[in-house]
């Protein structure tokens, strides 16, 4: 636990450039623009407990600090990565002392709040409830999944967005021109193309932008210009934002799956490239692509499953980058293939019936009879061997349990091979209806 320190020498540029007012704050106009909800609450002095949800480097900690300054509140910050119930109790004691001695409200800012377990989240709820603390949490993960309902019911969630190029560019200019906190004393310029590359590399992250700018500035003499070559040399790691276990991970695999399902090969390739660029394991994507083949293409094009399995095999055998091309080929094939979720839907329906009904016994005529006793008990009696029947089909035969009405789980779509499968099944059902050997009457 600790307070924000006063500005210290040799602070990183990103720390020095923390805005001192809302006018200096970059981005989030949907929350802080005129008439927007958080701006109105600030202007009316109606602060409340809140959760800031957004990607790294968009100003969650900075905004919390600004709110404390504007409200003249005592500011205490803890990190859920390092802190526990002990630190929460210490924060409560500080809040009580501030209220008793100075009459000031205390804001408890919890960074990475999603890392607190349920009992830790519950620990400060009573003090939020009775007004001892005003709680502000920051998280990069979806609060609906990571925070308990009791905490969510006491705090309003604000979604902070990645900074666009306009906001990042304004921040870059402020850093270059600010003589007190920024780089203004060095009188640096930046080439237009270098600026464009730097903004792209920041990927919506203000902290990353300022860190890159500071490194570049250290390599340029006063009155110099930050050129394209220098910026390109700095960007050895071009990985975009991609948390392998977090929200961005599941958002991007979802976007890939939905693009394939939507028959858009170009968008499918884009999201695949984003995940590879972000450091996702290509074998994970290969496994998910196999799932897509069964779930969304199915028997409309049975070749899809084999192609995806082959791509997975190539990825395992050759590794990157050669294997990634095979996975890309499979993704494009899936996106262009006829679509059917008929098998997926049928399987779910069958599983639902099995889970909700008794454990029906197989009918006697479908059971094997390897012993004399089993034959005497009627096992396999009356079974019709399909290969001995006309068209290799035992018309009128019943394969469901006797206590269960037959179901039609599989409903082929009128696309790809399934259109022909549907025709065949309709024909076989017509044979069933006309058969004098129907085991179960209509």
pLDDT of 305 reads 96
CA distance to 323, 344, 413, per residue, from 300 (Å): 26, 12, 8
> Do strands 50-53 and 134-139 pair parallel, antiparallel, or not at all (unpaired)?
parallel
Q: At what angle do helices 165-177 and 192-202 cross, to 10 degrees?
A: 120
More confident residue, 298 or 441: 298
Strand ranges inside 152-276, DSSP E: 156-159, 189-190, 225-226
**2 confidence band (pLDDT: 50, 70, 90):** very low
Rounded distance between C-alpha atoms, residue 207 and residue 175, angstroms: 12
Residue appearing with tokens 């602070």:
11
Rounded distance between C-alpha atoms, residue 175 and residue 148, angstroms: 39
Rounded distance between C-alpha atoms, residue 293 and residue 152, angstroms: 38
HSE toward the beta carbon, residue 185, CA cutoff 13 A: 5
Rounded distance between C-alpha atoms, residue 118 and residue 134, angstroms: 19
Distance from chain centroid for Cα 150: 23
With 0-12 / 13-18 / 19 or more C-beta atoms within 10 angstroms meaning exposed / middle / buried, residue 370 is exposed
Average pLDDT along the chain: 85
Rounded distance between C-alpha atoms, residue 313 and residue 343, angstroms: 24
Percent of the chain with pLDDT over 70: 94
Closest residue by Cα to residue 294 from 243, 342, 233, 352: 342
The answer to which of 25-39, 74-88, 356-370 has the lowest mean pLDDT is 74-88
Rounded distance between C-alpha atoms, residue 322 and residue 314, angstroms: 8
Rounded distance between C-alpha atoms, residue 276 and residue 331, angstroms: 13
**266 confidence band (pLDDT: 50, 70, 90):** very high
Rounded distance between C-alpha atoms, residue 365 and residue 90, angstroms: 74
* Range with top average pLDDT, 71-85, 96-110, 189-203: 189-203
Rounded distance between C-alpha atoms, residue 241 and residue 55, angstroms: 8
Over residues 205-250, the pLDDT tens digits come to 888 889 889 888 888 888 888 988 888 887 865 545 555 555 566 7
Closest residue by Cα to residue 252 from 276, 231, 286: 276
Give the mean pLDDT of 412-436. 91
Distance from chain centroid for Cα 417: 34
Rounded distance between C-alpha atoms, residue 387 and residue 391, angstroms: 8
**307 confidence band (pLDDT: 50, 70, 90):** very high
Which residues make beta-bridge pairs with 75? 107
Closest residue by Cα to residue 116 from 138, 94, 131, 90: 138
Number of Cβ atoms within 10 Å of the Cβ of 139: 24
Give the mean pLDDT of 68-89. 79
Element counts in the chain: helices (H) and strands (E): 21, 7
Number of Cβ atoms within 10 Å of the Cβ of 168: 25
What's 295's DSSP letter?
Answer: I
Res 102 pLDDT > 50: yes
Res 301 pLDDT > 80: yes
pLDDT of 1 reads 40
- Do the beta carbons of residue 95 and residue 127 sit within 8 Å? yes
Rounded distance between C-alpha atoms, residue 223 and residue 215, angstroms: 16
pLDDT of 442 reads 64
Query: In angstroms, how far is the first alpha carbon of the chain from the final one?
Result: 75
Which residues make beta-bridge pairs with 156? 50
Rounded distance between C-alpha atoms, residue 154 and residue 167, angstroms: 31
pLDDT of 3 reads 45
**5 confidence band (pLDDT: 50, 70, 90):** very low
Residue appearing with tokens 């028997």:
299
Percent of the chain with pLDDT over 90: 25
CA–CA–CA angle 297, 300, 303 (5° rounding) = 75
Res 409 pLDDT > 70: yes
Over residues 285-295, the pLDDT tens digits come to 999 999 999 99
């Amino acid at each position: 636990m600790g307070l924000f320190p006063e500005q210290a020498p040799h602070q990183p540029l990103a720390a020095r450039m923390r805005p001192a007012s809302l006018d200096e704050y970059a981005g989030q106009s949907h929350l802080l623009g005129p008439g927007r909800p958080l701006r109105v609450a600030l202007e009316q002095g109606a602060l409340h407990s809140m959760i800031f949800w957004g990607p790294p480097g968009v100003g969650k900690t900075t905004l919390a600090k600004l709110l404390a300054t504007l409200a003249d509140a005592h500011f205490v910050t803890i990190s859920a990565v390092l802190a526990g119930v002990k630190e929460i109790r210490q924060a409560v004691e500080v809040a009580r002392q501030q209220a008793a001695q100075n009459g000031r409200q205390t804001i408890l800012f919890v960074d990475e709040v999603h890392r607190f377990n349920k009992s830790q989240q519950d620990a400060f709820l009573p003090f939020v409830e009775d007004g001892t603390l005003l709680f502000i949490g920051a998280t990069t993960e979806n609060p609906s999944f990571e925070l308990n309902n009791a905490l969510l019911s006491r705090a309003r969630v604000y979604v902070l967005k990645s900074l666009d190029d306009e906001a990042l560019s304004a921040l870059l200019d402020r850093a270059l021109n600010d003589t007190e906190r920024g780089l203004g004393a060095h009188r640096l310029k930046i080439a237009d193309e270098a600026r464009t590359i730097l903004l792209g590399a920041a990927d919506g992250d203000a902290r990353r932008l300022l860190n890159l700018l500071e490194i570049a500035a250290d390599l340029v003499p006063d009155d110099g210009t930050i050129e394209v070559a220098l910026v390109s040399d700095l960007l050895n790691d071009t990985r975009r934002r991609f948390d392998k276990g977090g929200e961005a991970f599941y958002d991007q695999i979802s976007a890939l799956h939905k693009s394939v399902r939507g028959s858009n090969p170009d968008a499918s390739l884009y999201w695949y490239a984003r995940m590879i660029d972000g450091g996702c394991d290509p074998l994970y994507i290969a496994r998910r692509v196999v799932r897509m083949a069964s779930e969304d293409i199915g028997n409309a094009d049975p070749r899809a499953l084999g192609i995806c399995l082959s791509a997975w095999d190539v990825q395992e055998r050759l590794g990157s980058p050669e294997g990634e091309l095979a996975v890309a080929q499979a993704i494009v094939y899936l996106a262009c293939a006829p679509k059917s979720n008929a098998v997926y839907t049928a399987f779910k329906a069958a599983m639902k019936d099995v889970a909700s009904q008794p454990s029906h016994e197989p009918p006697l005529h479908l059971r094997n009879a390897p012993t004399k006793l089993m034959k005497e008990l009627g096992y396999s009696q009356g079974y019709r061997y399909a290969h001995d029947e006309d068209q290799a089909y035992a018309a009128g035969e019943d394969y469901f349990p006797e206590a269960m009405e037959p179901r039609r789980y599989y409903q082929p779509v009128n696309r790809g091979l399934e259109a022909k499968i549907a025709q065949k099944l309709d024909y076989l059902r017509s044979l069933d209806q006309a058969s004098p050997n129907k085991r179960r009457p209509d």
